Every structure is written in structure tokens, then in C-alpha cells.
Amino acid sequence: MSLDHRLSDEHEQLRRTVEEFAHDVVAPKIGEFYERHEFPYDIVRQMGEMGLFGLPFPEEYGGMGGDYLALCLALEELARVDSSVAITLEAGVSLGAMPVFRFGTEEQKREWLPKLCAGERLGAFGLTEPECGSDAGGTRTTAVRDEKTGEWVINGTKCFITNSGTDVTGLVTVTAVTGRKENGAPLISSIIVPSGTPGFTVAAPYSKVGWNASDTRELSFADVRVPAANLLGEEGRGYAQFLRILDEGRIAISALATGLAQGCVDESVAYARTRTAFGRPIGANQAIQFKLADMEMRAHTARVAWRDAASRLLAGEPFKKEAAAAKLYSSEIAVTNAREATQIHGGYGFMNEYPVARMWRDSKILEIGEGTSEVQRMLIARELGVG
């Protein structure tokens, strides 16, 4: 495999376009949305018009005909400015639309993907439950077939679900136990539940530490009925499906984390050049210079890691270990860079008017969401043959 991760002209043009959008459109407005804990509908609408939600999908389904690398480039550039907007795109594509594309029937694809690719509707992935966060195999939500109507009847609760309660949310793909194997192990299936289905209740938004301009909710299902045709893929294959989705998603989260880490560098360099203390810019002090050098080194290394994992995915090669390593490293250095950026800014780094304060609040979840750091280490060890 080539280790040359330089971008093609097409990918570089996309990266620059999103970079410009992030700085010209997102940066001036997002702080106000963030402090109000308000979803930025207008920004998301513009992202849809740009085709960002359709980046990795074929044109026949309303997509842009790009690839997963294109999506990750967009995520990194958005997260350099704001992670709430970036996670809205990440969850909408890799968790919302990608399961439909990977495992859906042709009818399901044609019904849902054009709206999801256009950003007219957002999709969500209902996996996590209150009693089994990292143990997704312990799913307690159930779906039982009504023998008379053939419908699925769903009961259970999901938590921490991104994009699940916005005005433009169209569907949530829910994992549920639909039967038992001979050994008693659960058969977990994925089922599409359209927003507004009777019995499907979306709770009020969580009060979160970070990602305050993104939508995160608890969901409950009380005898929710959906047609048999809403089954996504084969019955009993939901567990394997979400493992594949999460493997890909770790690359996307790594790109997002890399963007946050790079954003911390960007803001800190600009601040170090203009902030004076003791008669000179603080950037003239070697202690600050070394902090900035280490921050840049971390962001650069994280970028190489996620691009390597992405290139393996695109080449059809095994990428599970590389995706886990990229997610683990980039999320942890995002937290480190956010802490160092806040330190460089001093008291101003503790003020919400400065982007680094937002980045500090947003960074910690990256070590938790879509697989904790501990889970990533388990996965890497397993791939090494010792787990």
C-alpha cells in the first residue's frame, strides 16, 4: 500500500471549499447557537445545499458520487471551527444514512437516501441504551412480529442519540432483539422507525457539557408499530451491521477529533502572535513555542492516522485496527490540545467568547462516543491476537 496521503486535486478543492464555508459562515454565528443550546438549522440547510450530506453516496440516490475520504475531509475542516456542526454531519451521514445505503433494500434506498443526501431530512442511529452503553450486545429493546398484521412491535429505550429530535429528523434506525439463538443469545436486528410514528417519543434535549449546538436525546418506544418492510438487512444481522458502521464511523470521528486538535493550534498561534506580556508577544517565549510545536505534531500525526485508515477502507483492505488506533489517538490528543490551548490563552481561555473554551468543552466526548478509549484498546489488542 502507498503511504502517500497527499490529496487529489478534487479532494483538495473540496477541503478548501469546506474550509472557506467553516470560517465565513459557521465561525461568525455558531457561538451564539452554542450558548443558547440551539440547533443551527440555517447552517445545516446550507450544508445540505452544498451536498455535504451526500458526499460518499452515488449520484443515483441523490449523492455527490464521492467517497468516505471526502466526508472525513469535510468533517475535519468543520471541526477546526466547531464540533457541534461537524458531529451533526458525521452522525447524519455515517450513522443516519450509511446503514440505509449499506444494508437497505433498493426500495428503502430510493425512499430515504435522496432526502438524507440533500440534508432535507436527518437520520439517526438508535444503538446505545441506558443499561448497556459499551455492551451493545446487551440490547434490551425488543421487536416482536405481530402474527396478524406482520408488523414489528417495538418496545424499549435508547439514549444519547444524535440528530434524533430535530424538526428535520426523518428516521431513526433502531437495534432491537427480535429472537433468540439456540444457545439463548439474542438475535439483534435493525429496524427503520420514521419520526412521528405513534408510540415513538422523543425526550427534551439533554443538558450537555459540550456539543451544545447539536441535537442529542433519549428515545422511548411503547408498542411502536412499523411495517415488516422496515427491517434493515437480514433479521438477526443487526449486531454485525452496527459493528461495520462503527468501524467506519471511527475514521470519521478521528477526522473530527483531528480538526478540533488543529483548531486549537490555529487559535493558539493567532493568540500567541497578538497577546503581549512583559513587553513582547507571548509567542516569543520558548515555553509557548514548545507547547505549540507539540500541539501541531499531535494534530499532524492524527491526520496521518485517519487518512491511512481511510485509504485502507477505500482500497477494500482490512482497516479495523487502523480505525481503532486512529480514533483512540486522535480523540486523546484532541483533549490534550484543548487543555494546552486553554492554558496558552490563560484567563481568556476560560471565557466562552473564545473558541478554545468551546473546544475544551467539546473535546472530552470524543474519548467516549462511538466507542470509548478503553473499547478501542480492546479492539486493537484483539486484532493483535491477544484480546
215, 41 contact by CB (below 8 A):
no
List the domain range (segments joined by +) for residue 257. 240-383
In the block, cell 473546544 appears at 359
Asked if residue 90 and residue 67 are part of one domain, the reply reads: yes
CATH of the domain at 170: 2.40.110.10
Kind and range of the H or E run holding 218: strand 216-226
Please report the pLDDT score of residue 135 as a whole number: 74
| In-domain check, residue 3 | no
3-state secondary structure 33-62: HHHHCCCCHHHHHHHHHHCHHHCCCCHHHC
Strand pairing class (186-194; 200-202): unpaired
Is 367 an active-site residue?
A: no
Cα separations in angstroms, 35 against 40, 81, 101, 298, 353:
12, 15, 35, 29, 9
Asked if residue 207 and residue 274 are part of one domain, the reply reads: no
Asked if residue 187 and residue 159 are part of one domain, the reply reads: yes
Asked if residue 203 and residue 171 are part of one domain, the reply reads: yes
pLDDT in tens, 172-194: 999 999 999 888 889 999 999 99
Q: What are the per-10-residue average pLDDT scores of the chain (387 residues)?
A: 74 98 98 97 98 98 97 98 98 97 98 98 95 79 96 97 98 96 91 98 97 98 98 94 92 98 98 96 97 98 98 96 98 98 97 96 96 96 92
| In-domain check, residue 52 | yes
Provide DSSP, 233-282. Answer: SSTT-HHHHHHHHHHHHHHHHHHHHHHHHHHHHHHHHHHHHH-EETTEEG
Choice among 60, 370, 374, 383 that is catalytic? 370
Asked if residue 141 and residue 112 are part of one domain, the reply reads: no
| In-domain check, residue 4 | no
Asked if residue 248 and residue 379 are part of one domain, the reply reads: yes
